[in-house]
Structure 1
Amino acid sequence: MKNLDDREWLLTNGLGSFASGTVADARTRTYHGWLIAALDPPSQRTLLLSHIEASLEVANKVVALGTNYWGNDVIEPEGFQLLNSFEIEPVPTWVWQKDNWQLTRQIIMPHAERGNAVPQDNTSRVLIQYCYTGEVQGILRLRFMIADRDFHHQQQADPNLHFSQIVELQQIILQALRPGWIGTPWQLRWTQGEYQYDPVWYWNYRLPEETNRGLGDREDLFSPGYLTIDLEAGSCITLEAQVGASSALPALHNSEFSDAVQAEQNRLVQVFNFELDKNSSTQLQQQLLRASDQFIVHRASIAGPTVIAGYHWFNDWGRDTLIALPGLGLTTQRFDLAKGLLQTFGRYCRNGLIPNTFPDSGAEPSYNSIDAALLWIETLGLYLEATQDWDFLVEEYPIVQQIYKAFITGTKFNIQVDATDGLVSWDAPHIALTWMDAVIGGQPVTPRRGKPVEINALWYSALCWASTWAERLSQEEASESRLMNQARRYQQQAQKVKDSMQKFWNPTKSYLYDTIEPDDRLNSQIRPNAVLALSYQHSAFPTHQGRQILEVARQKLLTPYGLRSLAPEDLQYIGQCTGDVQHRDRAYHQGTVWTWLIGAFIRAWQRCHSEPVPCDWQPLLEHLHAQACIGSISEIFDGDAPHIPRGAIAQAWSVAEVLRHISSTAVSY
């Protein structure tokens, strides 16, 4: 008997919509479905088409090809037993086979953009194609399984919940209805077959990944009916599920599937300026480029680009976007994208802070981050170095000044520069403002109030950038003396911060203190924030200290998948990020491995050493090809070996940081 393959696949469309499931074709998460549509891109993600249950009748024998978990711990049917192969490229492709027949299914989610253009519209759709090969004729029955619910929650059968359907030639128009509520209209179309109206509820699907995460794990799905198709050798049927309702669409043709595949290939070639080939090293880079593209989406509320932090459940976050931007936008030479993201964040700067979350329509941004503003300056600097776009510096320099003034004079959350040593401090109870931001019951799991080391390293780098920019602008503008004075002030403050950064040096451990707390206590836990402090464009620490820091990090934090968030010998270390929400949040930054931190380690190592970076890429590349989400990189891994992947199955900054550095280190696969 075959094992059920729970590896996952992911399709996206540039609007925040996605399709996802497992290789075995069983739904194991609330977030699995073939059309999860972002109705207000990239928000209001709504499951409409869960999947299609397929059965094949050949020689008077009916074979069920689906695979489902049920609430009584039964797997039925067991279609995965007949699954002969699965391929992820160019599109997810399943092949079921037995004796004298073979059935292939492919799925594609057409992209809403063409190149760097604004999305043509906000319509999300998915195409599914079945092709049959057999010695005898067959009959394919396809039962549609649908919903209309927020992608974070399961659907439950309800006497008050109804699905209207308008049956037309080779299509049905569907809409959920409940007293006082009208759902999203959408439609299913097909190229051939006879539709049978047969509304029925299917109760008690079980979602085992949600069981493991301590969340709701039961779902009811509705089926409006099924389609029957007579098959001969070489027969294909194509279906389309699309948001919206229209009787005026032209007839669907099988060629539309291959046209959509070709259009996506052409789009990727245009975006990344590469030619698709089978060379192993090139193929690896192209796989990472494809993965990176899945996070770039259009946000309707700002009419501009943004970055989904991770799939399935994350939205777009400021900190994550700015950390990922060099890999997603600069390494890939998508400079217009990088510029657009920087412009948007700059436009939303308030009180010297950059939002950590973008607003949905009619909502206010959230500014609960101390590092986003400083990361914006750091990323702006990297963009300018890569593009020499000095006109953009002129445009954005007032925002640099706004951030500087706010940090000097003080802003929200008691963020302020300490006049005595020039270091940035913050103090706000019940809030976590750094990237270690898990909070349980109003209490941060990793409280880092005071002066965090990586925040002050960013502050130092920001002052160095500002000094360089003011000096440059002074040579081009009439107000030369004012800008030169600014340059000198930034430079003097940078020197003061550099001197004060030695307060973080812990000679006993040859490492950096993680924070200087509000009462001046020194936190000596071994965390990766010391490595982050070495990784920015301008470093306040001399090479001999950097080498000692990196040696400690290599021994205690470095794993094949990234850096641990806490050294294993620490009494607060938690080696597995499992269990319910509280257990996972307690482990999130207390030893869990974060892949994105590998980029900081590489940059710091290259700054301090001339020898090759001591990174073995092989396990991470095997993960990319054959674990979790095939073709992408997970958010986190357990701190303990064997470092099982956890969290989001595809994470923007994980992919971005690997993409950013994999070409600069010796890699073979």
Structure 2
Amino acid sequence: MKNLDDREWLLTNGLGSFASGTVTDARTRTYHGWLVAALDPPSQRTLLLSHIEASLEVAGKVIALGTNYWGNNVIEPKGFELLHRFEIDPVPTWIWQQDNWQLTRQMIMPHVGTVPSDSNTNRVLIQYCYKGEVPGILRLRLMIADRDFHHQQQADPNLQFSQLLEQQQVFLQALRPGWIGTPWRLRWTAGEYQHDPVWYWNYRLPEETNRGLSDHEDLYSPGYLTIHLEPESCLTIEARVGFPSRALPTLQNTDFAEAVQEEQQRLAQTFNFESSTSTQLRQLLRASDQFVVYRASIAGPTVIAGYHWFNDWGRDTLIALPGLALTTQRFDLAKGLLQTFGRYCRHGLIPNTFPNTGAEPSYNSIDAALLWIETLGLYLEATQDWDFLVEEYAVVQQIYKAFMAGTKFNIQVDAADGLVSWDAPGVALTWMDAIVRGQPVTPRRGKPVEINALWYSALCWASSWAQRLSQEDGFEQARLLNQSRRYQQQAAQVKDSMQKFWNPTKGYLYDTIEPDDRLNSQIRPNAVLALSFHHSAFPAHQGRQILEVARAKLLTPYGLRSLAPEDVQYVGKCTGDAEHRDRAYHQGTVWSWLIGSFIRAWQRYNLEEPVPFDWQPLLEHFHAQACIGSISEIFDGDAPHTPRGAIAQAWSVAEVIRHYSRGQG
């Protein structure tokens, strides 16, 4: 028996909706499904169409093409044994075949990216094409659900699925006493539908077993479709959310090819593809676009941190923004994201999570506000859009004043040395934010090194901006020049104080100065982050020493470790249940987004020596591991650095785009 291929694929539609599964068609995660619809974009993601079980009858022989794990550890049927080839470009494509027949399945999720409507909604198109010496009969059994994408569905006598059959379509909706589910419909171009409701019990989801989570699901089948296929014939199916208020055009087989063409044209226009654009870069840019979505509650763009399970987060968005929107010259997108974050600035803080409709943002981040200033600076450098600076300068001042006067979580500048400090129990405000049993795994209270490096860069930006605005009409020149001098003086004080982080014994930076002034000497990548911002407070000889230590202890083929292996707290594999994984998350686990910071710092401090990083392993991962055509969130700290976490992560992809040469690939 062939080994099952556990690589995964991903389709998205610009709303936070997605379709995903494995190459071999076996569902291994709670999050696998063909229509996971974001009903309150990009939130309220709901599994509606899990998959379609296909069987093909040729010359009197019935061949089951599906592959399923069952609760008793049985794999049945074994359709993967007939899977001849899988391709990802331009859309996920499966080809099953034997000597006298071939069946191809392709799938696309048309892009929406705006407010859904009857004609422009969450939907997925599936096309089957048959080649054979004799006609065949294709039977397609629908496997459906109506449940939150984080949880499995279980058979329940109170859970019913209504269905209304019309010509070449069936309307479906889940019902339970006191609850009505999401209405949706399935349409097809040919075939006869047979109402045949039945529950399929006890699917097993082995990736959830590995993660120590609930790992069994029941799926409902309302019926099946029978299609008589002549050689060289195709069938197209559409699953679509909502019961449209008006009749839709009849579904045609040509609709699938048109959807593929429209998506290719959209991507070409979005990224201004040229004939010289390499295949490698095109694929990276397409991957980056999967994270850019529309958020209904703010009526604007946002960035999904990662698939399958993450929402949009402020810190992740701002770290990813330069690669997603500046390197790619999507300047309107960058501006829209910065505007939205600026509009939600409260207490001098930028939200770490956007609100769903009717909810309040969460401000549990110390770095998001400073990252906003840093990213604003990068945007202005790239675009020279000084009118936007005029518009947003008040937000810069709001952040500055809040950090100086003090704000939530006891975030405040220490008047004695000018450094930013914070101290609040039970929370984790930096990017190392894992919490187990109510306690941060890496608390990092006090004065974290990269936070103060960001603070220094923010003061440098603010000084130059005040100087520039003093020359603009409508601004009080003397006041702005005074502001510029004050920011400059504070930046000089912070630069001097940053030497408190220098650890001459290790030739590295202390990770934090804790509230009681103890110095944390763990070797973490935050020192590299501190070297990577637009303005750096550290001299060349220190920068080079820091980078040499990071190269020796943290650098891997996939990014930087979050802790040096010789540390007693180091954990080399991010496996096990949620608690074990959270305890390993920032204790040695490799984060690929950090390779961008390492490259920027190396280019600043070691110009005479090429960056000591070989792109090939990470690009091979992009093409052939985990989620084909994307980059994982994390990797084990120990070799062989197995990919873990989310299968597609925004800042991982963004930082590769930011630094990978357009001439390669």
TM-score (norm 1): 0.98
1:447 maps to 443
Change (3 A) 1:120 1:180: closer
Q: Deviations along 1:107-129, whole A, 9 cap, x unmatched?
A: 0000004xxx7766772000000
| 1:355 and 1:372 in contact (8 A); partners too | yes
1:298 maps to 294
Secondary structure, counterpart of 2:145 in structure 1: strand
Indicate whether 1:512 and 2:535 are aligned: no
Question: How many angstroms does 1:216 deviate by?
Answer: 0.5
Matches of 1:67 and 1:163 in 2, distance apart? 25
Matches of 2:438 and 2:489 in 1, distance apart? 39
Partner amino acid, structure 2, of 1:138: G
Secondary structure, counterpart of 2:203 in structure 1: strand
Partner amino acid, structure 1, of 2:384: Q
Question: How many angstroms does 1:668 deviate by?
Answer: 4.9
Q: Deviations along 1:590-609, whole A, 9 cap, x unmatched?
A: 00000000000000000001
Matches of 1:639 and 1:537 in 2, distance apart? 28
Indicate whether 1:74 and 2:93 are aligned: no
Matches of 1:245 and 1:376 in 2, distance apart? 41
Q: Deviations along 1:375-400, whole A, 9 cap, x unmatched?
A: 00000000000000000000000000
Matches of 2:449 and 2:464 in 1, distance apart? 23
Secondary structure, counterpart of 2:646 in structure 1: coil
Q: Deviations along 1:283-328, whole A, 9 cap, x unmatched?
A: 1111110000000000000000000000000000000000000000
Matches of 1:309 and 1:378 in 2, distance apart? 19
Question: How many angstroms does 1:180 deviate by?
Answer: 0.5
1:311 maps to 307
Indicate whether 1:362 and 2:358 are aligned: yes
Pairs within 5 Å for 1:57-456: 57-113=57-113, 123-246=121-244, 248-275=247-274, 282-456=278-452
Secondary structure, counterpart of 1:200 in structure 2: strand
| 2:116 and 2:122 in contact (8 A); partners too | no
Structure 1 residue runs of 5 or longer lacking an equivalent are: none
2:569 maps to 572
Partner amino acid, structure 1, of 2:223: G
Change (3 A) 1:118 1:166: closer
Matches of 1:181 and 1:663 in 2, distance apart? 53
Matches of 1:119 and 1:164 in 2, distance apart? 24
Partner amino acid, structure 2, of 1:455: I
Question: How many angstroms does 1:476 deviate by?
Answer: 1.3
Matches of 1:653 and 1:119 in 2, distance apart? 27
1:25 maps to 25
- Identity percentage of aligned residues: 83
Moved more, 72-81 or 476-485: 476-485
Partner amino acid, structure 1, of 2:221: S
2:471 maps to 475
Secondary structure, counterpart of 1:236 in structure 2: strand
Moved more, 526-535 or 468-477: 468-477
Secondary structure, counterpart of 1:214 in structure 2: coil
Matches of 2:386 and 2:618 in 1, distance apart? 38
Partner amino acid, structure 1, of 2:155: A
Indicate whether 1:524 and 2:521 are aligned: yes
| 1:58 and 1:138 in contact (8 A); partners too | yes
| 2:100 and 2:132 in contact (8 A); partners too | yes
Matches of 2:615 and 2:318 in 1, distance apart? 24
Matches of 1:235 and 1:163 in 2, distance apart? 32
Matches of 2:303 and 2:116 in 1, distance apart? 15
Q: Deviations along 1:646-666, whole A, 9 cap, x unmatched?
A: 0000000000001100118xx
Matches of 1:603 and 1:505 in 2, distance apart? 20
Matches of 1:476 and 1:128 in 2, distance apart? 56
Matches of 2:125 and 2:252 in 1, distance apart? 11
Matches of 2:661 and 2:297 in 1, distance apart? 36
Structure 2 residue runs of 5 or longer lacking an equivalent are: none
Moved more, 117-126 or 592-601: 117-126
Matches of 1:258 and 1:3 in 2, distance apart? 33
Partner amino acid, structure 1, of 2:262: A
| 1:143 and 1:225 in contact (8 A); partners too | yes
Secondary structure, counterpart of 1:361 in structure 2: coil
2:461 maps to 465
Matches of 1:623 and 1:141 in 2, distance apart? 36
Secondary structure, counterpart of 1:364 in structure 2: coil
Question: How many angstroms does 1:475 deviate by?
Answer: 1.1
Matches of 1:2 and 1:129 in 2, distance apart? 26
Matches of 2:116 and 2:459 in 1, distance apart? 38
1:600 maps to 597
Matches of 1:249 and 1:68 in 2, distance apart? 34
Secondary structure, counterpart of 2:39 in structure 1: strand
1:490 maps to 487
Matches of 1:136 and 1:531 in 2, distance apart? 64
| 1:119 and 1:298 in contact (8 A); partners too | no
Q: Deviations along 1:85-125, whole A, 9 cap, x unmatched?
A: 00001000000001100000000000004xxx776677200
Q: Deviations along 1:197-234, whole A, 9 cap, x unmatched?
A: 00000000000000000001000000000000001111
Matches of 1:235 and 1:201 in 2, distance apart? 31
Partner amino acid, structure 2, of 1:65: L
Secondary structure, counterpart of 2:452 in structure 1: helix
Partner amino acid, structure 2, of 1:151: F
Secondary structure, counterpart of 2:38 in structure 1: strand
Secondary structure, counterpart of 1:142 in structure 2: strand
Question: How many angstroms does 1:250 deviate by?
Answer: 2.1
Matches of 2:395 and 2:243 in 1, distance apart? 45
Question: How many angstroms does 1:249 deviate by?
Answer: 1.8
1:591 maps to 588
Matches of 1:24 and 1:484 in 2, distance apart? 64
Matches of 1:456 and 1:91 in 2, distance apart? 45
Secondary structure, counterpart of 2:278 in structure 1: helix
Matches of 1:514 and 1:248 in 2, distance apart? 62
